[in-house]
Amino acid sequence: MKAYFTIAVQPLFVLMWSSAFIAGIIGVGAAPPMLVLLGRYVIGGALLAGYAWAVRATWPRGQTLRHVVIAGLLMQIVQFGAFYTAMSHQVSGAVIALIQGLNPVLIAVFAGFLGETVTARQWAGFGIGGVGVAAAVVDQSNFSVAGLLLCLLGLFGLSMGTVYQKRFAPQVDSRASTAVHALASAPIAAVLVLATQQWQIRDLPHFAAALTWIVLVNSVAAFLLLNAMLRRWDATRVGRLFFATPAVTALLAWLLVDQPLRPLTIAGLGVGVLGLVLASARPQSAGRPAPQPVAAR
């Protein structure tokens, strides 16, 4: 059973994580981005809260709860609000996956918050990863400056939210914190829907299918699988799986939503992943454990 788990779970997780970008593209093609967010957080938040309650997770309280809410708004509203809106600007799923994959690198830039240092190898990885992103973006036929800026904003939200939670609420039960992230984000998403006055669903079947996948597979199942892997393996081994996400996303986008996969895009993805690999080894400062990845699906 243990050998089967090791062999099967890793490609399954990469496929599930990569599919989030495809489901997002389908979702924002059928309804406004903020409406997709609202559905995600209302339904996903309820399911995650029910799971946290069922397993008797310890819920954050007081000042810790406030910190978890702030981190959640950064990782959920800022990240996915920006990424979903970028999708509506025709930014490809592969490019978004590659930019999101730069999260550990950006965290390294903010390493002072975590008591770490940034090595020359990490800076080299950051530069190489940036070149890969640029090549993949330039090759897109529907290149959008606004879409690229939105992707960078989403990356900033994910990275800052991760750093903030590790700095101010590092010991919070991840099962409860993920539920708090979604539940705190739901009313903000509702306000954004009302503010933009975009609540018309253009394609109900595709919207329902995408939202079902986003909630059940990406927000719940992938989160449970990630935590199961972290209980069995160290964070470095699990973190390596994310290197495959941009390439798998590009392939899925080509197969399922007809996004082009041209030579320069492939080269950019390859260079970008090389940058991620170089930047993945973060030094561990004395007396502090290496930071663990935070689920943000």
Most confident stretch, 100-109, 147-156, 227-236, 266-275 = 147-156
Contact status, residue 32 vs residue 162, Cβ threshold 8 Å: no
**Per-residue confidence (pLDDT) for residue 247, from 0 to 100:** 81
Q: Which of the pair, 87 or 235, is modelled with greater confidence? A: 87
* pLDDT-derived band at 287, boundaries 50, 70, 90: very low
Query: What is the arithmetic mean of pLDDT over 271-278?
Result: 75
Virtual CA dihedral for 61, 64, 65, 70, nearest 10 degrees? Answer: 180
What is the identity of the amino acid at 56?
R
CB proximity list for 47: less than 8 A, separation 6 or greater: 215, 216, 219, 220
How much is the mean pLDDT over the chain? 83
CA-closest candidate to residue 217, choices 209, 205, 228: 209
**241-258 as b/e, with b when 16 or more CB fall inside 10 Å?**
bbbbbbbbbbebbbeeee
pLDDT tens per residue, range 161-209: 988 888 898 889 989 999 999 999 999 999 999 998 888 999 999 999 9
**Per-residue confidence (pLDDT) for residue 230, from 0 to 100:** 72
What is the identity of the amino acid at 3?
A
pLDDT tens per residue, range 29-74: 999 999 999 999 999 999 999 999 999 999 999 999 999 999 999 9
Write out the two tokens for 26: 């389908």
Domain ranges in the chain? 2-279
